[in-house]
A and B are shown apart, each in its own frame.
Chain A
Amino acid sequence: MKPRPFAYCRPETAAEAAVLLAEYGDEARILAGGQSLLPMLNFRLVDAAALIDISRIEELSYIRETGDRLEIGAAVTQAQLLAYPDLAKAVPLLAKGLPFVGHVQTRNRGTVCGSLAHADPSSELPLVLATLGGEVVLRSARGERVVGAAEFQLGLLTTAREPDELIVAARFPLQSPGTGSAFTEVARRHGDFAIVSLAAVAAGAALRLGVGGVADHPAVAAFDGLAGADLDAALNAFVWELGGSDDLHASAHYRRDLVRRLGRRVLEEAQACSA
């Protein structure tokens, strides 16, 4: 279980990284924390002619509140974000979801943007970004563009990122007053890949639920004004739309059941903390 040989570049700036990407195109992989990339390289599931290591780029190592968003640079680790003092106030859903991302030891290296770039259907950060309607900032030698979460993650490990682009930042909407959120997850062992993960946001009668681990990308739906049997019926219709299939970890039936039951629970929890 050793990776095949690859070249290694450690640019000093995001602009340098973009130039390298323009040179290598899809032959190169961006290395930030490496907590998703290294396992795939070790397993030889991916091949890269070159790794472009952005983890030491100073200008990508920041967390700041700009306007109504929390912007997180591509070199910021999950542990650094979790330690951001205002996180529970700024984006409570991130504070609630991050402890489910891997283990302490992988969060110490794994980055927020790297998790978004990897786009695993069961991973928590893409789910939080999708549920909140956040966005991703992409940079290439051609320029910069901003892509909304819904347009960014297209499917299993597939995103709208072009081969010559790198994620330089992710933006999560700050939680507005009177809004509540909740997160929960079922996994074989805490920190392992989620069988199902759920994120909910409630603002008055407006209810939004995001589900990871069932479809090939985080699925988000609105359940505005629904409660009781109506909510159950809507959740049931939603879960059948998601598809989902049996795998090693759980049956599709079990996953549907989790979404129906936990979906209702997280929505109610989000409502309770919005009051």
Chain B
Amino acid sequence: MLRLTSNQCVAITFMLNGREISGPIEPRMLLSDFLRDELGKTGTHVGCEHGVCGACTVRIDGLAVRACLTLAVQADGRRVETVEGLAGADGVLGALQEAFHRHHALQCGYCSAGLLMSLTALFEQVASPSEAEIRDVIGGHLCRCTGYAGILAAALDVTKVYKEKTTI
């Protein structure tokens, strides 16, 4: 059994975007803070820190989850994916990112990383999701700029792309 005292600092290890990383945590450290402050991966944004806005959404073992409602220690040994892993090594945007660009699905971009992670998870689960399924996933995110129309259009566009390609 793992047992940590409140101020005990230990190293955790997990796969981040396909690469093994490790870093020090205390039990109370949130995964969002670990990613941003310990690893310097600031692509994951933090808005409300109580699960409402969706800005911090990342994937753990493939599932879209709130990094602000996950302790860093809970990610130990898991597979974590963040927005930094979406573009290719050469910096070429993924199909979903491309579509966001094309459809003006972002203005300030604060919400985008979370939305991209949620939608990526959806496209992996359901090859060709319906508009209702897409709306349901977007419903877990707040965007104060776009009015969501561009985000929906981008996602719908990718459902077409997805049929031709195997990855997004």
Contact = CB atoms under 8 A, between A and B. Distances in A.
B70 interface: yes
Nearest to B137: A104
Contacts, number: 107
Interface residues of B, number: 33
A105 interface: yes
A264 B61 CA distance: 43
What bracket does the count of chain A residues touching chain B fall in?
35 or more
Given A43-B50, A104-B136, A5 B69 contact: no
B51 interface: yes
B57 A8 contact: no
B78 to A, nearest CB: 10
B108 interface: no
Nearest to A83: B125
B5 A7 contact: yes
Contact of B6 (A7, A41, A55): A7
Given A6-B6, A108-B63, A55 B74 contact: yes
Interface stretch (B23-31, B82-90, B96-104, B156-164): B23-31
A242 B28 CA distance: 39
Interface of A: 1-12, 16, 31, 34-35, 38-39, 41-43, 49-51, 53, 55, 79, 99, 102-106, 108-109, 189-191
5 contacts: A9-B2, A10-B2, A35-B51, A51-B27, A102-B51
Given A105-B64, A109-B69, 12 more contacts: A5-B6, A6-B6, A8-B73, A10-B2, A34-B69, A38-B68, A42-B30, A42-B49, A104-B137, A105-B118, A106-B65, A108-B64
